[in-house]
Amino acid sequence: MKRILLVTSLCLLTGLSFAQKKAVKDAKNAMRSNVSEARELIKPALTDAETSNDPDAWKVAGDIEFKAFDDERTLEMQKEITGKGGNEEAMYIGLYNMYDPYIKADELGELPDEKGKIKNKVRKDIVKNMRDGHRFYINGGVFYNDKQNYKKAADFFERYWELPTLAMFADTQADFNMQDTTYQTIKYYAIISSIQSKDHPRSIKLLKKIIAEPYIQNSTYKESDVYELLASEYQQVEDSASYVATLRQGAEKFPKNKYFTPNLINEFIRGGKTNEALAYLDQAIANDPTNTCDLMSVKASLYSEQKDYANAEPAYAKALAADANCERALEGLGVLYVLQAQDMKEKAGQSTNRREQAEMDKETTTLYTKALPYLEKYRDILKSRNADSLDVRPALMKLQNVYYNLSLLNIDKSKELEAIDKDLNAL
């Protein structure tokens, strides 16, 4: 009885195995006339234990999708002649769906047999079809981008990027000309589409991938652009450690870039790491002397915030020595003298010694007077470039404050105050 059951079980297993192999054959035959039917026929064979590791089964699955792609492509190419095109989206669905089965089939084909030999019988056809479809992944990406399906667009662009690097093309990778502008552009499009889809983990993965590859000069993006995008993505996912690390990397690699250093310094300042910010500013100025105006002004403002006026003043002076029209330094140095004047004014108000008060009033007058040429020049530059009223108004109010305080100290600034009032009213 047991023997009968065992024989019956073996027969059933053999029958199931045969059935799945027949399904592969039936799917292969069906795809010549009915792709939809072939798709259904091949599905069980891809999950059955007997055929799921058969490279032929996966190759047929890929062939079915390639046939779907190729049929619609042929109709599209004949459109001008026949007046009837194919189903463009169906074409791209087939192109997209052939990719994974073909890779799976090739991987299985590369496994050694029981004798330790590799006889990959499926690779030749797969390589031909994958190479044939490669350039159409660009078209698919553009198609879905136009539909604002950015995730799908990124899928297609990424496959165009990835395909030449597959193991099956190891010996013929040079044929793809991965150094050309088109290839570099599509890599970037894959990233931009992923960012537009708001898939931050994927965007970070792609950005790290493109950074790891050699940069090829092109007209679409600069090497520093991808570092900026990576930093921005880390900000989006609130990974502050990686954000700062990327800013550091970008600042060191691209010292003249205007994005990395200012943002890195801002991070130091935001984190209360003033000394680290000051040290990095010195390094940044050495790396990019052309940016001395902005960087030295930031350094001076850090000293000013700490009321370290002795170091702030020469720092602003260095910024102006590098650029006499450095707006941040003109405003900053003017404000620096105003702050000191206010401190002195408060001190004088607390003194009961008339002689001491007079000396301090004299020093206050000197400080307010020293502030004027810088604040006036700053105002004039803003006006000459038609700056936004949101920038001009604060500049005028600072000047108004200085003129008013000098008037209190018996320095006649009535004309200047009248002119400032008119300017403020006109905004």
For 278-322, the three-class secondary structure string (H helix, E strand, C coil) is HHHHHHHHHHCHHHHHHHHHHHHHHHHHCCCHHHHHHHHHHHHHH
Contact 311, 296 (CB under 8 A): no
* Closest of 181, 249, 175, 160 to residue 212, by C-alpha: 249
pLDDT of residue 376: 96
Looking at 31-54, list the stretches that DSSP marks H as alpha helix, in order from N- to C-terminal side. Answer: 35-47
pLDDT of residue 83: 67
pLDDT of residue 325: 97
Cα atoms in the Cβ-side hemisphere of radius 13 Å centred on 224: 14
pLDDT of residue 291: 87
Question: Residue 115 carries which DSSP code?
Answer: T
Name the token pair of 49.
């234990």
pLDDT of residue 8: 43
Cα–Cα separations (whole angstroms), residue 106 to 40, 55, 60, 99? 22, 7, 12, 11
pLDDT of residue 18: 58
Helical axes 150-162 vs 200-212, angle rounded to 10°: 20
User: Could you tell me which residues come within 8 angstroms of residue 31 by beta carbon, excluding any fewer than 6 positions away?
Assistant: 38, 60, 63, 64, 67
Residue 381's Cβ-count burial label (10 Å; 0-12, 13-18, 19+) is middle
DSSP string, 326-381: -HHHHHHHHHHHHHHHHHHHHHHHH---HHHHHHHHHHHHHHHHHHHHHHHHHHHH
pLDDT of residue 282: 87
* Closest of 92, 160, 154 to residue 131, by C-alpha: 160
| Residues in the chain where the model's pLDDT stays below 70 | 1-20, 80, 83, 85
Residue 107's Cβ-count burial label (10 Å; 0-12, 13-18, 19+) is middle
pLDDT of residue 204: 98
pLDDT of residue 54: 94
